[in-house]
Amino acid sequence: MRPRNPANRALPVNLYKNGRYYQYRHPQTGRYHGMGTDRAAAIRAAHQLNAQLIEPISLTERVLGTKRQAPSTEPTLLFSDWLDTYATLLDERGLSSLSRYNRQRQVERIRAALGALDLSTITTRRIAEFLDAQTPRQANAYRSVLNDCFNEAIAKGHITTNPVTVTKNKRVATQRQRLTLEDFQRIHAASPIHLQNALDLGLITLQRREDLVSLSWSDLRDGVLELQQHKTGTRLRITVTKPLARVLDTCRSNLDSPWIIHYRRGSPHTRAGDPIAKQQLSSMFRAVRDSLGLYAELPIRQRPSFHEIRSLGARLYEARGMDPQTLLGHKSRQMTEVYLDSRREEWLVASPAVDILENFRESFDKPS
């Protein structure tokens, strides 16, 4: 018999603790019943229920075999207990802090819905019901976690089949409009200098907001811009080619700021030279976009955001015959946003040799 989880070891048989709450597992039906948060009351009730529901067997009957001993009521492995083990396995993968936080939240949501079940009794139907209760995007993310979770359980020998495998990803409708090159130019021309710098650097390096605002001049070493992406943990060395050097030159100021992207002027809430928060990049981008009346016919959630610059730059590189995957920080075209890489300690090397800004550089100097 598998030893009980430490949290349940001192409890009567059939009584389990799940978070702050206690649950009693009916020895005949296998169903769980809530017993509240009062430990003493739950223990008393469990003893009373066991006395009524578990048929006693004498020692003589056990020896002579005249009456079959009742089967053990201990579950093979509670899913909640397995999720504890799975969380430990995730910690060993060396996920980035953001990925680890998101995965922990997903695991806890799964635990709340399915944790009281035996791991070996979870069916595809139960998985499908859980996924159907989510939005399409959330369902696909949870499906990915569950699929990985059950595969790990198979690898450890707890189960032999994965109930998630035959479920399907839900179709997620693309909501946000792509940013066009023409509209990028218009937004750029109407933006303050610090936002222009962020737009230029984002377009040529293809990095996310949080990576752009974290860049400092100390990351520039021997003609290489080094960074570690916050979302994936991917380490990237970007060669400072002439096109990128021109962008970096425009980012320099006489403020002696350590940050490549920084405020050029102070305000009631910021000082000149301060770094720009990623949320501020988004809000400034939205303000300029909306002031120009761009995409006004679309609902707000469908209008292109600052993040769409990443897609625009990738499309421009591809149109010029350069594969943008390395600059994006991906190691393959099949990589997803929840990509987990056990070899992320190695550096990826990228060289933005194609000047994707040359065709509209003159427009940057035009007033709005």
Residue 171 carries which DSSP code? P
Query: For the segment 315-351, what is each residue's pLDDT rounded down to a tens digit?
Result: 888 888 888 888 887 665 554 232 223 233 456 667 6
Please indicate whether residue 194 is annotated as part of the active site. no
**Which residue in 205, 200, 169, 174 sits closest to 187, CA to CA?**
200
Least confident of 20-24, 187-191, 261-265, 344-348: 344-348
CATH of the domain at 32: 3.30.160
Q: Which residue is listed with tokens 């979302």? A: 231
Structural domain count of the chain = 3
The percentage of residues in the chain with a pLDDT greater than 90, rounded to a whole number, is 46
What is the torsional sign of CA 204, 206, 210, 216? negative
What does the block give as tokens for 130?
Answer: 């859980």
Residue 190 has pLDDT above 70, yes or no: yes
**The one catalytic residue among 17, 209, 310, 344:** 310
Average pLDDT of the segment spanning 3-16? 76
How far, in Å, CA of 331 to CA of 333, rounded?
7
Least confident of 99-108, 251-260, 302-311, 316-325: 316-325
pLDDT at 255: 84
Tell me, yes or no, whether 333 and 197 share the same domain: yes
Identify the domain containing residue 44 by its residue range. 15-64
Residue 356 carries which DSSP code? T
Tell me, yes or no, whether 319 and 269 share the same domain: yes
How far, in Å, CA of 102 to CA of 108, rounded?
10
Q: Which residue has the higher pLDDT, 295 or 7?
A: 295
Average pLDDT of the segment spanning 191-205? 94
Please indicate whether residue 208 is annotated as part of the active site. yes
Domain membership of residue 166 (yes or no) is no
**The one catalytic residue among 158, 237, 331, 339:** 339
**The one catalytic residue among 143, 209, 330, 344:** 330
**The one catalytic residue among 4, 39, 100, 231:** 231
- Residue 159 to residues 24, 82, 118: CA-CA distances in angstroms? 24, 11, 11
pLDDT at 331: 61
How far, in Å, CA of 79 to CA of 118, rounded?
5
pLDDT at 172: 76
Per-residue pLDDT band at 200 (split at 50, 70, 90): very high
Cβ atoms of 176 and 168 closer than 8 Å: no
Domain membership of residue 72 (yes or no) is no
CATH of the domain at 331: 1.10.443.10
Residue 210 has pLDDT above 90, yes or no: yes
Please indicate whether residue 262 is annotated as part of the active site. no
Per-residue pLDDT band at 7 (split at 50, 70, 90): low
Query: For the segment 125-144, what is each residue's pLDDT rounded down to a tens digit?
Result: 999 999 999 999 899 999 99
Other Cβ atoms closer than 10 A to 250: 13
Please indicate whether residue 310 is annotated as part of the active site. yes
pLDDT at 63: 58
CATH of the domain at 119: 1.10.150.130
Tell me, yes or no, whether 239 and 325 share the same domain: yes
Tell me, yes or no, whether 150 and 237 share the same domain: no
Query: For the segment 157-168, what is each residue's pLDDT rounded down to a tens digit?
Result: 999 999 999 999
Other Cβ atoms closer than 10 A to 333: 8
Least confident of 26-30, 48-52, 162-166: 26-30
Please indicate whether residue 168 is annotated as part of the active site. no
Please indicate whether residue 330 is annotated as part of the active site. yes
**The one catalytic residue among 307, 315, 320, 331:** 307
Q: Which residue has the higher pLDDT, 116 or 344?
A: 116
- β-pairing, 32-34 vs 220-221, is unpaired
Cβ atoms of 190 and 289 closer than 8 Å: no
DSSP 2-26: PPPPTTTTTSPTTEEEETTEEEEE-
**The one catalytic residue among 208, 209, 289, 303:** 208
Q: Which residue has the higher pLDDT, 33 or 7?
A: 33
* Reported pTM: 0.56
Tell me, yes or no, whether 118 and 214 share the same domain: no
How far, in Å, CA of 305 to CA of 202, rounded?
13
Q: State residue 125 phi and psi, 5-degree precision.
A: -60, -45
Write down the H helix ranges in 133-291. 136-155, 181-189, 193-205, 209-214, 242-251, 278-291
Question: How many residues in the chain?
Answer: 368
Helix (H, G, I), strand (E, B) or coil at 364: helix
Per-residue pLDDT band at 355 (split at 50, 70, 90): low
